[in-house]
Chain A
Amino acid sequence: MGGASWWWRVAVVAVGIVLGAATLVGCGAGDAGQVVLAFDTGAEGAGEYRAAAVECSRASGGRYTIEQRTQQSRDTDDQRLQFARRLAAHDSGLDIMELDVILTGEFAQAGWILPYPAELARQIEQGTLRGPLETGIYQGTLYAAPLSTNTQLLWYRKDLVPHPPKTWDEMIQMAEGLAARGLPHYIEVQGARYEGLTVWFNTLLTSGGGSIVSDNGDVLVARGNAARQALGVMSRVATSRAADPSLSVSQEADGRLAMEAGRAAFEVNYPDTYTAMYPPGADGGGGTFIDQRGRPTSRDTGRRVGDVFGWAAYPSVAVAKPARVTIGGNNLGVSATSRHPTEAFEAVQCLRNRDNQLRGAVGVARPPTLVALYDDPAFQKRYPAWQAIRDSLNSASVRPETPAYKSISIVISDLLNPPAKINPDTVVGVLGDQIAKTVKSQGLVP
């Protein structure tokens, strides 16, 4: 069978070629003498991050070059998946990562990010807002340096109500009153089955004095009355006339658009709502035209939503008990697989310094984490709501720092969606059971 042995030789040659090619591909990237630090960020703000990377490279005096790379990710869930997979696979191409605040516990416990050296951690703690700082700390150690932060405010139509509502119940009442008069009345809030729904629940829960889970994994959600109270609010919003019909699929952008289109009277959302309403440089901002009574119209009435647009503190669940708004934003973590951790830590300090934070805050509408910047005129000009933002941050609540947070959040948003079907009396127990399982790696995520 000469033929068979011929085929056999062909096979051997082919295998050889493949293995050769694979080796070439695998080891393609040679190690040059210079230290190059990868700085992986999301798409939002990529330009600002790139500028910061260039400046900090220059500032290092040639000791390292920071190379900003934009992740292909549609949202923070995608971002988490991509980082986590690469880290789990020991990808040494990661140095500095822009991490959502919810990832600290998970990445730290998994050993994917390095703790900040004590001396550096002390420097970072100086001058940084307390709330954002907490998001970077896991079990008493700083694992992620606060870069930007975020908090929700109440945005409302000043022409429709005499004063902003103080509580959720007052807001529902006002909205129903507006509905009865045939005026724009929707309350825009994040009700889709995603992280935003968990944020809504967490804010209401902590505002009432409760919490989901303690840092060491004790499930607290079913203790006390706070969860029932929070779920009651959510259910009342969703089942009242105040609810946007698309509440169950509504995310931040949907709420913003409903407000700009003149359909909504109230909106709880992040400060970039303001930037979106009045885009810098553009002349067409301010949303749709509104008529004398405040209803949207396509006629040029000379009056737009933007002319009667205001903000206030996030509504509370109970009178005289200010809301504790869930904190958002991004931190900087250093990969455990980094080949240059010392330089990476040093670069982090530069990337989050005053100039670079201000650039990000102005460019991407993400509030900074340095206390001092809140007094900066450039910042205040860009964020007319800066006082409300700072106040909200000062009383903020942090989402649980447990490593299982993402699974918990998925379970919560699954159980609470659609919000109109929440039964406050029964769902609390289910939440407690499911979260307890998840914390022990025994639960499934949908």
Chain B
Amino acid sequence: MTTVWSGVRAAGSARGRRPAPISEKARVERRLAALLCAPAVLVILTVTGYPIGYAIYLSLERFDLRFPENRGFVGLANYGAVLSSGYWWQAFAVTVVVTVVSVAIEFVIGLALALAMYRTVVGRGLVRAAVLVPYGIVTVVASYGWKYAWTPGKGYLAALLPDGSAPLTDQITTIAVIILAEVWKTTPFMALLLLAGLALVPEELLKAAAMDGAGPWQRLTRVTLPMIKPAILVALLFRTMDAFRVFDSIYILTRGSNGTESVSMLGYDNLFVAFNLGIGSAISVLIFIVVAMVALVFVKLFGVAAPGVEAKESHR
């Protein structure tokens, strides 16, 4: 997201460096830009724009593949059905819990990881490569790892539990495992974003703070964290959006049983188990609206924080 603004800004400064733009040159530039962006715009419009519109349209229809002849416009009835269903609210609650808890844990561990990676004097390259493994690994693969690890009689983690406990058969413990899987996989991403932010904190400032008698904790909370606030917000935004669409790990771990369904799972099940495109689309649109609202809140937050922070070209 910052790329967005920095992109705009960079373009602006690039233009500023040149002599005053001539209208002829601007026109040529515009035409070229249009040509260059055309493929991207085309793909985005056909594979995202049109389907979104179509999803909204489908969500207003009764459209059940099993009753093809009963297809017809039903207005907002599908939304009423979804919003009045306990399944939706349960999935919503599960998704919110997984999102909030995992992003919170990720932030704490990620910050620690970033500080460690930033300050470490031994094996920096090795550590950086290692934390990229969870980021890169296929979610389905990692989820199977966690599933087997917690399966009684099979897993090394289940072996640590008292006899007779089967964490993947109970709602609370299963959600804990889901959160663990999410945290493990995405903390590195969070850490890397924060690490890049740490690189922008001037060393002199920290030294000056230390001179003034600030302890390590105070330097972290009073100097470092405020300085990297933009990086923190971006990292939180990206991760929140990402965590909210959690699907793969739940699909592998429980397939939604024991009340562990996320909203994405619910949408999937109503589309591909019930073959109810109307209800499924209504769920899809609702998820989109929720995500958009969360993003809006973040952007507002961010908008408050953004001015005053100027782009800095600093590379590690």
Chain A residues proximal to chain B, CB less than 8 Å: 1, 4, 7-8, 11, 77, 81, 84-85, 88, 106, 109-111, 193, 249, 403-404, 406-407, 410, 437, 441-446
Contacts and interface: CB of A to CB of B under 8 A. Distances in A.
Interface in B156-174: 169
Contacts of A81: 272-273
B67 A444 contact: no
Interface residues of B, number: 34
Contacts of B257: 193
Nearest to A405: B66
A396 B87 CA distance: 33
Given A7-B36, A445-B269, 9 more contacts: A4-B35, A85-B272, A403-B66, A406-B273, A407-B276, A441-B67, A444-B87, A445-B87, A446-B256
A111 B68 contact: yes
B298 interface: no
Q: Which 7 residue pairs are nearest across A and B when measured between Cβ atoms?
A: A441-B64, A403-B66, A444-B85, A445-B274, A446-B87, A444-B87, A442-B81
A442 B274 CA distance: 11
Interface string B261-304: 10000100110111110110001000000000000000000000
A77 B273 CA distance: 8
15 contacts: A4-B35, A77-B273, A81-B272, A84-B65, A111-B68, A406-B273, A407-B274, A410-B273, A441-B62, A441-B70, A441-B276, A442-B62, A442-B81, A445-B270, A446-B90
B85 A443 contact: yes
Interface in B41-85: 62, 64-68, 70, 77-78, 81-82, 85
Contacts of A109: 66-67
Chain A facing B: main interface SS: helix
A414 to B, nearest CB: 8
A148 to B, nearest CB: 25
Given A106-B66, A441-B67, A406 B272 contact: no
Contacts of A111: 68
A7 B37 CA distance: 12
A362 to B, nearest CB: 34
A8 B257 CA distance: 50
B88 interface: yes
Contacts of A446: 87, 90, 256, 261, 266, 269
Contacts of A444: 81-82, 85, 87-88, 266, 270, 274, 279, 283
